Amino acid sequence: MATVEVLATEVVVPAEATPGGTVWLSNLDLAARRGYTTTVYFYRANGDPPGFFAVEAVKDSLARALVAFYPLAGRLGLDGAGRVQIDCTGEGAVFLTASSGHYTLDDLMKEFVPCGEMRDLFVPPTPSSNPACPLLLAQITRLRCGGVVLGLALHHSATDARSAALFVETWASISRRSTMDVLVPPCFDHKLLAARHSRTVLYDHPEYKPEPAAKHTSTVSTYASAIITVTKQQVSVLRARCAGASTFRVLVALVWQTACRARALPLDAETRLYSMIDMRARLVPPLPQGYFGNAVVRTSTAATVGEVVSNTVGHGAWLARGATNQGGDYARSLVDYLEGVEDLMNLPRSGISRAHLRAISWMGMSLNDADFGHGAPAFMGPALMYYSGFVYVMNAPGKDGALTLALSLEPESMPEFSRLFAQELARLDACVASS
């Protein structure tokens, strides 16, 4: 079994004095999963040039990045009423240095799938996610070939994926340019997403209520995971079959349809597609470009399994639109709804029924912007999946427009899913060859 040796555990504090006080968290921050989002970035040594991810240089650039992103150097806290907030203590981020004599980068990329074992190897162990825990933990692991894995754990109460990407891109920019300039200033004014004085709930928001007991299915906590690459040409053929649908919707529709088939569910069972939608640009007025916090909302659309498997992928993409087309009024309605929830910690967070799928787009997280001065990562993705039925759509390494799917299903469903999905990709390839 592969092992990683931790060489040092330190705390990196901001390079300069930073503001004290607290950061108020919105209802969307409090409704997010109370825990850490873990990601990995793989970097190829390319001849192991001098200074390649030198630990002191990485820590120095992190210290400078924490000046602008000072809440990440703080701790999760509680106000006088027991509401969760960020205490800007400046205590710093946890930073681990490690090495692996087992893996080369090529071996790791062949073997890696998001799972608990990989997370334990390449991401720092995280403490309890309750106050007063740190908000950022980072680990640099040097591989046998000289390549490097950067593993991150960011507390979800402080950041969504867009915010995490902004921080990593800023950290990388500071590292490669040896400056403290920030490309997009972060905004920590979470009261921009405060509930309105006159609460107006216009929607039902079932995604924030306990799921009714399913007739045919149950929640599955164990999973098997996979990484699948879809080429630009395959995506183009798929989109041509789904006129007007976005890339995210057509790919998710194909995964949804294939998963329903692989799971062999009754045709009359309900299957629900969940998603997370970034509301920054959809609000009126829009949030600042650098809004740093949780600005995503859970959405979903439902159909019977029979409707999903018996129709075209284009129909599935049309259904997916129901989970991805909400506007700013939906977000404001949700914030107002959550204001009336007595205990936000009791919101459903533990998983979804095995008939359902949760799809998230990380397509806006540019791999090229995570260049610390040694080239873009050879891979970036989640370190683990939280439960069965998750799918991330991400940009693939390189600039050819390919996409990567990181997904999880029940262990008994994954072999059939992999077989069926490979068949679908082969059909797309045949269309490319004949065009």
Q: How far is the C-alpha of 94 from the C-alpha of 202, rounded, in Å?
A: 42
Q: What is the DSSP string of 52-110?
A: TT-HHHHHHHHHHHHHHTGGGGSEEEE-TTS-EEEE-----EEEEEEE-SS--HHHHHH
Q: What is the rounded distance in angstroms from the CA atom of residue 127 to the CA atom of residue 51?
A: 32
Q: Which residues are designated catalytic?
A: 156, 371
Q: Are 205 and 341 in contact (CB under 8 A)?
A: no
Q: What's the rounded Cα separation, in Å, for the pair 104 and 106? A: 5
Structure tokens at 129: 């996610």
Q: Is the peptide bond before 285 cis (omega within 30 degrees of 0)?
A: yes
Which sign, positive or negative, has the C-alpha torsion 223, 238, 296, 114?
A: positive
CA distance 430 to 166: 39
- The burial class, CB within 10 Å (0-12 / 13-18 / 19+), for 200 is exposed
Bridge-based pairing of strands 5-12 and 93-99 is antiparallel
Helices (runs of H) and strands (runs of E) counted in the chain = 11, 15
Q: For residues 418 and 407, what is the distance between their CA atoms, to the nearest angstrom?
A: 11
Q: How far is CA 65 from CA 127, 171, 298, 380, in A?
A: 23, 5, 30, 20
Give the burial string for 211-240 (b: 16+ CB within 10 Å, else e): eeebeebebbeebbbbbbebbebbbebbbe
The Cα 284–Cα 31 span in angstroms is 22
Beta bridge partners of 86: 23, 76
DSSP 163: H
Backbone angles phi, psi at 431, to 5 degrees: -65, -40
The two structure tokens encoding residue 59: 């820590």
d(CA 365, CA 189): 23
